[in-house]
Amino acid sequence: MNDVAFITGATSGFGRAAAHRFAEAGWSLVLSGRRGDRLAALKAKLSEKVAVHTVVLDVRDDQAVAKAVAELPDAFKRVRTLVNNAGLALAPQPAQKVELKDWHTMIDTNVTGLVNVTHALLPTLIDIGQGATIINVGSIAGQWPYPGSHVYGASKSFVKQFSYNLRCDLLGTGVRVTDLAPGIAETEFTLVRTGGDQTASDNLYRSTTALTAEDIAEQMFYIATLPAHINFNRLEVMPTRQAWSAFAIDRDD
């Protein structure tokens, strides 16, 4: 039987690129996302290479997640790699100007959604044992604060600590856990974050060389196919043209 990868948020960005990368290597795929039309188009394309099962799924709904996992067709039940990619950032304004619902949406998706999917697939991954892999998509925002990151950065810090603590609990099972933390990457991320502001997106990536979705998908595949005795606890990936800035200081003058 082929290895099976379960990828959330597969309709765009890192998730879609990961689907293509794993398909290139012959993995069977379980792809989930909220946009059924995009999932259908992705399945039509990738089914020419590998077996693909798609699920229109909101990872925030724990019962829907549990049902989707329980009802996986037999050929897709033995999930070897889980890519917890579904997530988003909203409201890049200062915290005091953000609507509470945007904070809740980020928490529900980036934290609760990741927990829901992980919990549902843990028994399968533990049963697989050696070489089974959980890849949680974090962010450099989970390690390095910046203005406007507020709950987004906090949610990605949760991803980091959740990954580390899973490693502790899964010791002896053979299951690996990695917090994959990208820096600036040119995807739909900024469009979603700004409510569809194309100018804001264009300005962010203007005159530089950001990471691509394919760059991160390549790291996902590398992590998933490492020898079974190797675990990357955290992999922080930035483009060469991105680095840290000085501390901000409020001055009287």
Query: So which residues are the catalytic ones?
Result: 152
> Residue 253: which residues within 8 A CB-CB, separation 6 or more?
none
Quote the strand ranges of the chain, DSSP E.
4-7, 28-33, 52-56, 79-84, 133-137, 176-182, 234-237
Q: Which residue bears the tokens 């379980």?
A: 30
Q: What are phi and psi of 208, to 5 degrees?
A: -145, 180
Quote the strand ranges of 113-217, DSSP E.
133-137, 176-182
Cβ atoms of 59 and 116 closer than 8 Å = yes
